Amino acid sequence: MDRRPRLADVAARAGVSTASVSLVLRGEPGPSAETRERVLEAAGQLGYRADRTASLLARRRRHLLGVLLDVRNPFHAELVEEIHVEADQAGYEVVLSTLTRGRDEHRAIETLLDFRCEALLLLGPDSSEEALDRLAAQVPVVVVGRAVGKAQVDAIRPADDAGVDAALLHLIGLGHLRIAFVDGGQGAVAAVRRRGYRRAIRRAGLVASIVAGGRTEEAGVRAGRRLLASQELPTAVVASNDRLAVGLMDAFLRAGVDVPGRVSVVGYDDSILARLAHIDLTSVNQDAPAQARNAVLAAVSRLDEGRTIRYEAVQVPHLVVRGSTAAPFSS
């Protein structure tokens, strides 16, 4: 039997109507200060907890924002934390659906639709423009972290080419001429960063060197081993994401190659990994709070204000210089 205290129990304990209890617990005006004190005291004594789901249904709106994220991506975790803050201020709750080794993007999105989320915030999705358009026909969609072409969805993204530019300019300014790039593998975000490297290295008049990578530390370790096995080790490496960079540094460390004494390393995302004292990774910062704020505002403006015009915000990332980069090694 469910013995959870109900609104009527609080009203009975406080000696007021259920309507007054409801107003007090929602923070609405009307009840006197004395009534508020009695209601809050009674609720505390009984351990009353409001039924959020019932409350949302009663208002005929869910006020739920669905968020798709990769559970293995530390930058996504930071975005989600900021999204929670912004959603709470806007009066919305957040439902998370994650990508894992055995759970693909389609299934994760279907879960959010099953929860009847009013809008979806997709963090770095790989879905095609056509798939995004089909999804947008069902519910407002905000894509965070990548360009969406002509898809009729809102987009909040960093100018990834500018981020890679900043990394290369930093390394070239230190005197590096042999700068390799560890690729982020399949996916729209990795493709933009790869193109950004090619453009920047060509503009600098240097020779491009792209090493196969991926999205994980293990992929970074494999890339590091490939570089170590090459005829000539580059003096600097830019990785498509921080996890790759950490794996790369691990491979160098185990081989006795000093970072940054022998090889400088730059990551991308400026995640919590980059800020750890023993890693101290120079990395491109995308401003997670600003991305989250703009993403939530985009969703809420469609839901609460009826906006229909497509919105896109492009933010310029900046490089955070730490201890993993230095002037090139000279024998």
Q: What is the pLDDT of residue 20?
A: 78
Query: Are both 145 and 172 inside the same structural domain?
Result: no
Phi and psi based region of residue 270 (left: phi greater than 0; alpha: psi -120 to 50; beta: remaining): left
Question: What percent of the chain lies above the pLDDT cut of 70?
Answer: 94
Q: Read off the pLDDT band of 326 (50, 70, 90).
A: very high
Q: What is the pLDDT of residue 77?
A: 92
Tell me the per-residue pLDDT of 163-218, one tens digit each, with 9 for 90 and over. 999 999 999 999 999 999 999 998 888 999 999 999 999 999 999 999 999 989 99
Domain-located, residue 1: no
Q: Looking at residues 286-307, what average pLDDT do you find? A: 93
Query: Are both 182 and 279 inside the same structural domain?
Result: yes
Compute CA distances 160 → 76, 170, 208, 269, 312, whole Å.
16, 15, 18, 10, 15
Q: Looking at residues 83-107, what average pLDDT do you find? A: 92
The edge-to-edge listing of strands for the beta sheet with 141-144 is 93-99, 64-70, 119-123, 141-144, 154-158, 312-315
CB 97 within 8 A of CB 109: yes
Query: Are both 189 and 254 inside the same structural domain?
Result: yes
Question: What percent of the chain lies above the pLDDT cut of 90?
Answer: 68
Exposure pattern of 209-232 as b/e (b: 16+ CB <10 Å)?
Answer: bebebbbbbebbbbbbbebeeeee
The one-letter amino acid at 16: V
Mean pLDDT of the chain: 90
Domain-located, residue 74: yes
Count of beta carbons in the 10 Å neighbourhood of residue 328: 19
Q: Looking at residues 58-87, what average pLDDT do you find? A: 87
Query: Are both 79 and 114 inside the same structural domain?
Result: yes
Query: Are both 310 and 210 inside the same structural domain?
Result: no
Say yes or no to pLDDT of 120 above 90: yes
Query: Are both 208 and 69 inside the same structural domain?
Result: no
Domain-located, residue 93: yes
Q: Read off the pLDDT band of 1 (50, 70, 90).
A: very low
Strand 179-182 with 210-211, pairing: parallel
Look up the CATH number of the domain holding residue 114: 3.40.50.2300
- Cα separation of 261 and 246, whole Å? 16
Look up the CATH number of the domain holding residue 32: 1.10.260.40
- Cα separation of 59 and 12, whole Å? 25
Query: Are both 12 and 154 inside the same structural domain?
Result: no
Range of the domain at 226: 160-286
Say yes or no to pLDDT of 128 above 70: yes
Q: What is the pLDDT of residue 36?
A: 82
Query: Are both 164 and 276 inside the same structural domain?
Result: yes
Q: Read off the pLDDT band of 55 (50, 70, 90).
A: low
Query: Are both 206 and 281 inside the same structural domain?
Result: yes
Say yes or no to pLDDT of 143 above 80: yes
Q: Looking at residues 297-319, what average pLDDT do you find? A: 92
Query: Are both 206 and 123 inside the same structural domain?
Result: no
* Domain total in the chain: 3
Tell me which of 74 and 122 has the higher pLDDT. Answer: 122
Q: Which two tokens stand for residue 301?
A: 């403006």
Q: What is the pLDDT of residue 331?
A: 46
Q: Read off the pLDDT band of 34 (50, 70, 90).
A: confident
Domain-located, residue 325: no
Tell me which of 101 and 66 has the higher pLDDT. Answer: 66
Domain-located, residue 146: yes
Q: What is the pLDDT of residue 52?
A: 56
Read off the pTM.
Answer: 0.77
Query: Are both 45 and 152 inside the same structural domain?
Result: no
Which contiguous run of DSSP H or E holds residue 97?
strand 93-99
Domain-located, residue 168: yes
Say yes or no to pLDDT of 144 above 70: yes
Q: Looking at residues 245-259, what average pLDDT do you find? A: 97
Domain-located, residue 307: yes
Query: Are both 187 and 147 inside the same structural domain?
Result: no
Nearby residues of 37 by Cβ (< 8 Å), 6 or more positions away: none
Domain-located, residue 267: yes
Say yes or no to pLDDT of 15 above 80: yes
Q: Looking at residues 36-47, what average pLDDT do you find? A: 83
| Nearest residue to 197 via CA among 223, 176, 231, 169 | 169
